[in-house]
């Protein structure tokens, strides 16, 4: 059963939409204000710098695709993919894989 919800196709009331959340650091969209020259404020969204990137896991001898922020990539480079994935699972950022 399909229905329309705010312009999106919905299948069984589960919105089909990609989330903008880093799977390593947990960074997500935050809101703030656009401030014009006249100091009028209108609401806006600040998006994290997300990249879809493949990482090689030597322990499992396979590749994994993650949606990570630029700071998440730096963290993986510094600490290693296995340590970062373990920490992300403990914090609840990485649910799959």
> For the domain that residue 76 is a member of, what is the CATH number?
2.30.170.40
* Residue 43 within any structural domain of the chain: yes
Q: How far is 71 from 53, CA to CA, in rounded Å?
A: 13
Number of domains comprising the chain: 1
* Residue 57 within any structural domain of the chain: yes
32 is in which domain, residue-wise? Answer: 19-91
- For β-strands 8-11 and 14-15, DSSP reports them as antiparallel
* Residue 2 within any structural domain of the chain: no
* Residue 4 within any structural domain of the chain: no
Tens digit of pLDDT for each residue in 38-91? 999 999 999 999 999 999 999 999 999 999 999 999 999 999 999 999 999 999
Q: How far is 82 from 56, CA to CA, in rounded Å?
A: 10
Q: For the whole model, what pTM was predicted?
A: 0.75
Tens digit of pLDDT for each residue in 34-45? 999 999 999 999
* Phi, psi for residue 6 in degrees, rounded to 5: 50, 45
């Amino acid at each position: 059963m399909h229905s329309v919800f705010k312009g999106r196709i919905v299948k069984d009331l589960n919105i089909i939409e990609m989330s903008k959340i880093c799977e390593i650091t947990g960074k997500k969209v935050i809101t703030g204000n656009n401030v014009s020259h006249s100091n009028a404020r209108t609401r806006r969204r600040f998006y994290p710098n997300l990249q879809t990137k493949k990482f090689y896991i030597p322990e499992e001898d396979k590749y994994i695709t993650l949606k990570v922020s630029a700071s998440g990539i730096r963290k993986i480079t510094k600490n290693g993919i296995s340590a970062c994935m373990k920490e992300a699972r403990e914090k609840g950022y990485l649910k799959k894989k």
